[in-house]
Amino acid sequence: MANLKAIRNRIKSVQATQKITRAMRLVAAAKVRRAQMRVEAARPFTTAVVKMLQEALSGLAPIDLQGMEILQTRDVKTVGLIVISSDRGLCGSYNTTVFRETMQRIMKLQAEGKEVKLILIGLKAAGFFKHIKIEKLKTYTLLPAIPTIQESELIADTAVQFFKDKVVDSIEIIGTKFISMMRSEIIDTNFIPVKLPEKAQHTMMRPERLFEPSIDEVMQKELLPKYLQNVIYQTLLEASAAELAARMKAMTDASNNARDLIASLSLVYNKARQGSITQELLEIVGGAEALRG
């Protein structure tokens, strides 16, 4: 009977866990749909910013760009990596995949004789790299669940300042791109110095744009900062959607595993119960035979 009681308690424990994982799956499923909508809504703005840069470039000579520091490449001795992770766990291999890609990139850069410094986003990244002997320039944790342009502006401005102060010679972003509910991929993109898009090729008449006070000043004070902020914002949106999709999948798998475990434990319980009943019957029959004899 003690064995039966232990199995019953185990089944109840797994059932309670299954209720939690189901609830978390439903919450993640509801959130990931909204996150997907935000990602898809932001992508046209990114395209528009790039198009505006192309149009502005068509009115600038190469010499006009020489005074814009974040466009200038220099001998790369130190590389900054912006690593985007989550603040919470229970999202499968989402963070592990990001960290594996980051470590591979670090080892490759170090093999080339370059120093690596980190800008970490998320509690999981802060925890993972805590004991790794690489300089952490900045750590951002407990950011809003829904990325905002304000935090994107803060991160972008900080990264630009590190570049201007020559703390690093280039900056890359390692994060996750949302593809679909069931798929995402790791991205490693150049951030600073900015690689400008190709100049727009105009094959038809277009409205004339006037930039005040001057096109190069608009580029340096408005377009380029907005472009960098939008790159960070879009990356955070993509990472948020990918994290929620990973959490939904992880909780679905956990719920299915709990269901299978309950079925297996129920079978063991029924067999043990039948064995107990059979044993009791044998004892009764044996006692009756002993009395009769």
Tokens representing residue 28 in the block? 């993640």
Active site residues: 91
Contact 137, 117 (CB under 8 A): yes
Tokens representing residue 100 in the block? 């594996």
DSSP-assigned letter for residue 67: T
* Burial class of residue 269 (count of CB atoms within 10 Å of its CB; 0-12, 13-18, 19+): middle
Distance CA 173, CA 231 (A): 10
User: Rg of the chain's alpha carbons, rounded to an integer?
Assistant: 29
* Pairing outcome for strands 183-192 and 78-84: unpaired
Enclosing H/E stretch for 80: strand 78-84
In Å, what is the CA distance from 265 to each residue of 10, 28, 274, 276? 8, 28, 14, 16
